[in-house]
Amino acid sequence: MTRGNLSDRGLLRAVLVAFALLAVWRFAAAVATVALLLATALLLAVALSAPVEALHRRKVPRPAAVAAIVVVVLAILGVVGYLLLPTLVREVALLASSLPDAVQQLVERVRELANRLGVKIGGGSGGGISPRTLANAARRVLGGLLGLFGGLASLFTALLVLLFVPLYLTAMPEPVSDWVVRLFPPEKRAKARETLSESRTSLLGWLQGRLFSMVVVGVLATVALYFIGVPGALFLGVFSGLVAFVPIIGSVAGAIPPLILAFAGNPWDVLWVLLAYLAIQQVESNLLTPIVMQKAVSLHPVVVIASVTVAGAAFGVLGALLAVPATVVAGILIQKLWFERLEGSSG
């Protein structure tokens, strides 16, 4: 056999291995996307199950309860949109025009401070931040979420999954829960059903607590930014409330846009914004969290930061949003399936 044939076979083998690795990678990415979508749909189903169960205990059939709740939610969203959407649109337009200037002033002030300290920062006095640079930064931030789906068709399919899967799960939960329980041996099925029930209860308690904290944080941030005079106070307050879904890290993320905008105005506004968000974070951590999380799993801040960091690095924005509720469920599973087993065998 000639040396040329051996080299051709080695090249062909390398191409086949590379193709196989690429196929495995694409398959793993597709599986991860589907898993994240189903996890998000399950989280929405748990949130929807609370009012559905309340109506079902009053002899209302589950499908009718789901339909009624959907109608009420759409009505509330319609009223809120009618009242707040024009103001939010105006504030978004205002922020879109003022945020680049605020970022530019922040960069210039940092550059001046660095020059005074003898540190040279590239760019020069004429090197501004172009709209293209800001667009690229925004694209990278949103890429973790939108890039997960790969296109408008996939995004549309994902929205359908997030819409219909929670509705079907809450309208007909028994077939799914019974199928999951049947995966276990008959002697373990009672324990499995108990674990599923406790996981749902803990996750629902955590969700209720987070939603309450989000509302309080959003209201406090809006009021504080309005009195400080930061432009777009309503939109920034709503943004702060939404990102507060992720404990600790969400508070930091919600404070960044107001701090940047404060640099464009009175320098004292930066201090007031920082103090306001520190006070809001203290209210959330020391007052809201102990009250609303009495019946839910309490997570150590290190666990929260580690789970959000790892899930965000692996799966992007959606992974970061799902990290803490997944950790809540994982804590219940470890407690029921491992700790209690060890303590029972040792006791």
* Nearest alpha-carbon partner for 107 in 124, 95, 132, 131: 124
Residue 178: what pLDDT?
Answer: 85
- pLDDT tens digit string along 81-134? 888 888 888 888 877 777 777 777 777 776 776 777 766 655 544 444 444 554
135 — pLDDT class (breaks 50, 70, 90): very low
Q: What is the DSSP annotation of 45-65?
A: HHHHHHHHHHHHTTT--HHHH
Amino acid at 205: G
φ, ψ at 231 (rounded to 5°): -65, 145
Amino acid at 1: M
Residue 52: exposed, middle, or buried by beta-carbon count in 10 A (0-12, 13-18, 19+)? buried
Percent of the chain whose predicted confidence (pLDDT) is above 90 = 7
According to DSSP, residue 43 is labeled H
What span, in angstroms and rounded, lies between the C-alpha atoms of 242 and 252?
12
* Region of residue 61 (phi > 0: left; psi between -120 and 50: alpha; otherwise: beta): beta
Domain ranges of the chain: 34-346
- pLDDT tens digit string along 208-260? 888 888 899 999 999 999 998 888 888 899 999 998 888 778 888 888 888 88
Distances (CA, A) of 321 to 144, 179, 327: 11, 28, 11
Residue 126: what pLDDT?
Answer: 45
What span, in angstroms and rounded, lies between the C-alpha atoms of 214 and 325?
15
- pLDDT tens digit string along 312-330? 777 777 788 888 888 888 8
What span, in angstroms and rounded, lies between the C-alpha atoms of 50 and 48?
6
Using only C-alpha atoms, the chain has a radius of gyration, in whole angstroms, of: 25
